Each structure stands twice: as structure tokens, then as C-alpha cells.
Amino acid sequence: MKFDFTEEQKSMMEVGRDFAEKDILPTQEEDEKAHHFRKETFKKMAELGFFGCVIPEKYGGNETGHLCAALLTEEIARVSASWTLPFNMQMWGPAFTILNYGNEEQKEKYIPALVNGDVIGAFAITEPNSGSDVAGMGTTATETDDGYILNGQKMWISNAQTADMSLVYAYTDKAKKHKGISCFLVDMKNNPGIKTAAIETKLGLFCAPTGEIAFEDAKIPKSALLGQKGDGFKICMWQLNNTRLGCAARGVGIARGCHEHAIKYALERTQFGQPIAEFEMIQDQLALMYVEYEAARLLVLKAAYEKDQGNIGNTLSVSTAKYFAGEAAVNASGLAMKVFGSYGYSSEYPVERFFRDAKSLQTVEGTSNIQKVIIARAILSK
């Protein structure tokens, strides 16, 4: 296996690293405390081409690929996990899904605007009583002569209160169970039937807006339907197989950030007359963090490479990467806190933020348990 990156990929990694250090890090702690989403930061990410990696030039993308997008996500996550959410909310989620399932009118309307940041995207799947059980959703889309009427509630939706458009999954025929779910491209602004509210009580990812959406007789046009009626579950699973790659890359970045900070601190902190890096138990923790980071990174790169080779439906590779990277990030953050001791528990250092942010990876885009179910079913069916 060849491990060399192309000059283009190396260049994009450098751009991502530089952006994270110069545009995110200086205000990171201030923004975390204020739960502040900086639109100027979001817009600059778009201007740098971060949201166009898997999108054709025809629609404003740069076609650098899934591997490049994963590498960029890692570079951002090692500084701030919050600022990797836009990769999923703009590119791997709405834009790439519309590219695969949309008609030409839908592609031209939404994809360029998502890529250049003129439109903030989202996708709405989870509900108060429906998480892992996607088919258990209660939101409905009732067809009328001139469109559909949405009713229901979505919960824990990234960008809910800031999004201009969202993929919304809803039942058009409950009798058909999961085959009765459809997907809609919903313009979130200036619709009296759509109300949003922020969720401020979450544990981490403070710079990434999260909220709930209420649809109360929200009228949308027939042109909002993505694909065919009843294709929603299929579209949802296809979309998650791509956004999970973004989550996995986020986990790799968090694990790397924890490891880098832990090494630096272990070399600087002295106890009993020597740097704590000299103690074998600290070395054990640093070594374990490194091994799991490297393993997670290779799994993510493999899954991304497969997609770039045309294997978009590589569910087993993606779920394996998502599961392991999420667990590695959580473990790395816990070990880093141990290395830092009492300071690891303090917001004076970033490892407590990494600890909080990492925990989300065991839940979002399919829990760790769901990933293990997917993996088991895939290997048993071979």
C-alpha cells in the first residue's frame, strides 16, 4: 500500500493547519465560553474550498476528493472539533446527497450555494423519540395539490437555528414503514410553519449550533422532494455512510490534538526532580494514545481512499472507521486528562474540551452500538 500524499493533498493539509492555528485558535476559548458560531470563520472555510472537495467544478467544487476532505477535517479537529461540523452540514451531507439524488434544477439551486457558504446547510433525521431507530420517526409530509405539508419535530439537529436549508426526512406513507419515508429539500427561512430553538444544555461542541425544529403545517412545494417518494430511508442510509466519514476524521483529529498536548505537557511538567515524561506509566499512556491514533487514522484514510476509487457505498469500512476513531478519541481525551492531572480537569488547558467534544462521537451519526451492529451484519453476510 502506498502511503504518500499528492502535492495537492499536502498543500490542502497545510492550508487547513494554517487556518486552524490562525483563524480558529486565537478566539477559541472566548468563543467556547460564549457558545459563539462565527459566520466569518464559516465563510472563510468556504472561500478556501473546504466544502468543495467531493463536488464537481461544474457546481463550484474543486474535486480534490474524500481523502483530502478527511485530511482537512483532521487538521481542523486537532484544534477545534466544533469547526469540523460544517464539513458534514455543507458538503458530505446536503451537497453530496443532492449531487447523487437531485435533479438538475435542485443541483444548480443548492450545491454551489452550499459550497461557497452563501447558504448554511443542515439535515434533520433525529427526533425526541427516534434516534437509532430512523424508521420510528413521527414527522409526516402530507401531499396536497401543490406541495406537501410538514408536521412533526426534529431534535439535536446541527445548525437547526442557523440553517438556510435542510434535508428533512419525513413519512409520506406510514403504512409502508421505512419504505414510506421521503426526503425533502426544505428552505428553513421565511416559512411561518417552521420554528427553531437552540439547545444550550449540551456537553460539548459549543461553537457548533445545535437545536430543535418544529414543523407545524409547514407548506413546501412539490419541487422540494429529493429523489422519488419512498426513497427517503435509502437516501438517509446513503447520506450517513458519507457523513460518518466526516465524524471519523473528527475523531482522528481529536485524538491527535490530545496526544500532541499531552506530549508537550509531559515534557514540561516536572515532579520528583524530573519531567513526568520520564515515568513509565506516563510513557504507557502516551504510547497507547499514539497507537490508537495511528490505527484510527489508517482506517479513516482507507475508507476515504475507497470512496475516491468509486466505492461510495463502502459501509463496512466507514462504520469500522467511525466506531474505532470515536472510541480512540474518547480514550485519548481521558488519558490526556490523566497526564495533565488536576490541570486536565481545568478549562485552562484544552484537554477538558477535547474530553467533552469526543463523547459526542459515540452518539452522532449512529451510536457506537449501531456501528458494531452494522459491522457484525456485514462480516456475517460475507
Q: Which residues are catalytic?
A: 365
Task: State whether residue 118 is helix, strand or coil.
Answer: coil
Look up residue 130 and give its three cell numbers: 427516534
Q: DSSP for 317-345, please give it.
A: HHHHHHHHHHHHHHHHHHHHHHHHGGGGG
Task: State whether residue 80 is helix, strand or coil.
Answer: coil
Task: State whether residue 296 is helix, strand or coil.
Answer: helix
| Whether the Cβ atoms of residue 248 and residue 318 lie closer than 8 Å to each other | yes
C-alpha span between 150 and 171 (Å, rounded): 9
C-alpha span between 278 and 259 (Å, rounded): 16
C-alpha span between 306 and 371 (Å, rounded): 19
Look up residue 92 and give its three cell numbers: 458530505
Look up residue 223 and give its three cell numbers: 419541487
Residues 6+ apart with CB under 8 A from 259: 286, 289, 290, 293, 332, 336
**E strand or H helix at 256:** helix 232-268
Amino acid identity of residue 182, one-letter, is S
HSE (side-chain half, CA atoms, 13 Å) at 337: 15
Look up residue 264 and give its three cell numbers: 508537550
Chain mean position to CA 358? 12
HSE (side-chain half, CA atoms, 13 Å) at 76: 28
| Whether the Cβ atoms of residue 235 and residue 94 lie closer than 8 Å to each other | no
Beta bridge mates, 215: 152, 194
| Whether the Cβ atoms of residue 154 and residue 166 lie closer than 8 Å to each other | no
